[in-house]
Amino acid sequence: MPTYVYEVIREDGEPGAQFEIVQPIKDPPLKKHPETGEPVQRVIQPVFMGGTWTESSMSRRLKDDKKLDKLGLTKYVKAGDGMYEKRSGKGPDLISRDQAVKGSDFKHLD
C-alpha cells in the first residue's frame, strides 16, 4: 500500500502540519485528520526512484556492454546506413533495413 502525505488546511490559508498515512490506493483521499478532525488535503509528492537511477549513472551503465549482457538486455549500435551491429545480448549479429527481423529471432538464442 502506498504512503500518502497530507497537510492540515488552516483557516488563515497558510500551510499546516503535514503527516503521512498508509492507505489502499483505491481509498478516496482523506478529508479530515484521523486524530484531530481538522480539514486536510493530500499533498502531491515527486516520484521517488530508489537506487542509482540518475541520468549520469544510467548513461555509464548503458555504455557498459558486459553489464547489459548480464541483465539480459540486447544492444545494437548503428554501423552504417540502415545497418546495426549487436554489441550485447541475444539476437542476430547484424540487422539491416533490407532484411526483416522477427521477434522470434530474439528468443531462445544461446
**Cβ within 8 Å of residue 36, ≥6 positions away:** 8
The pLDDT value recorded for residue 56 is 72
pTM: 0.44
Looking at the structure of the chain, the number of domains it has is 2
* Domain shared by 39 and 9, yes or no: yes
Whether 76 is in a domain gets the answer: yes
Task: Write down the mean pLDDT value for the chain.
Answer: 83
Whether 22 is in a domain gets the answer: yes
Measured distance CA(58)–CA(48) in Å, rounded: 16
Residue-number span of the structural domain to which 15 is assigned = 3-43
Whether 51 is in a domain gets the answer: no
User: Around Cβ 97, how many Cβ atoms within 10 Å?
Assistant: 10
Task: Please give the residue that has the higher pLDDT: either 108 or 33.
Answer: 33
